[in-house]
Amino acid sequence: MANSDLHNAETSAVLLDLLMENGVSNPKKVPAFVRYIHRWLMSSVSPEHRLDKTLLDLAEAHPVDVVVTLLCSAPSCDRFAVLTIKALLRHLRCEGVVMALERKCGWDTLLDTDSHHYAVGLLAREMVCICAPWCCSVVCCLLELLSKEMCPWELPAMAFLVEVLVYLDVTECGESILQILSGHLWSECPEMRRQVLRGLMVLSQDPVMAKRMGSLTERLEELLWDSDRELVRMTATVLEFLSSEKDI
């Protein structure tokens, strides 16, 4: 695998198949396998579907190691990341999610940096219909990530959070979510502000959370002067919910 003279499409595919036939006996080897697959995909012009089974076998045997290596090796979304996500979803028996994104061209959208966050939102919507508890577990990780400086992951992370927000128990994590949404309401990115307002629209329908959102009214009023008409519409909707609270 380290010999660059052997690094070509045919040899790589055969080698990986042979190695996977006997299984990965040592979990410590998984990151090397996944990194090598990533390298192979980035340099190969051959169809990537050859590696579907290899990635699926790795995900079945060592899902956590595959996830961690995916995040380290491909922080941006590329062919490798898409294939690995598909393999992990199949490991979770979520074939329906894979097919739904296929029908809606979600996988192609995921590879476009301009539309990446939309695809993440679509992925979240499809996942939450089948495996809501898993999505809620993902949110716990996203809340930690969104509390830090983590460009370029902020927008897709927020898109995922907003899509599953309606399924969360805000009595447990509402305060943390509100704090994160409030912080990103000042973002210079228009799409981030739209995502935040979508989240606030959900939270404002909860009476307890609506009262806690009273401190945001001044900032929301400022957004009414924004040139983005959709953003203004969402802002007005949030303010309408808040104005129904007699304490605000």
Measured in whole angstroms, the distance separating CA 49 from the mean position of its chain's CA atoms is 23
What number of CA atoms fall less than 13 Å from residue 54's CA on the CB side? 23
Looking at the structure, tell me whether residues 130 and 153 fall in a common domain: yes
Residue 42 has pLDDT above 80, yes or no: no
Query: How far apart (Å, rounded) are the C-alpha atoms in residues 126 and 122?
Result: 6
Q: Specify whether 51 is located in the same domain as 103.
A: no
Return d(Cα 234, Cα 223) in angstroms, integer: 10
Task: Output the pLDDT for position 92.
Answer: 83
Same domain, 19 and 84: yes
Of 129, 186, 184, give the one whose Cα is nearest residue 157. 184
- List the one residue out of 45, 47, 43, 50 whose CA is nearest residue 15: 50
- What average pLDDT is seen over the chain? 81
pLDDT-wise least confident of 46-60, 95-109, 146-160, 193-207: 46-60
End of a domain among 91, 110, 125? Answer: 91
User: Do 175 and 163 sit in the same domain of this protein?
Assistant: no
- Angstrom distance (rounded) from CA 70 to CA 34: 7
- Residue-range definition of the domain harbouring residue 235: 170-248
Domain boundary among 139, 168, 197: 168
Residue 12 near residue 40 (C-beta atoms within 8 A): yes
Closest CA to 247 of 193, 190, 209: 209
How large is the average pLDDT for residues 66-92?
78
d(CA 212, CA 193): 19
Q: Are 166 and 205 in contact (CB under 8 A)?
A: no
Count of structural domains within the chain: 3
Say how far residue 222 (Cα) sits from the centre of its chain.
Answer: 30
pLDDT in tens, 110-139: 888 888 889 999 999 998 888 777 787 788
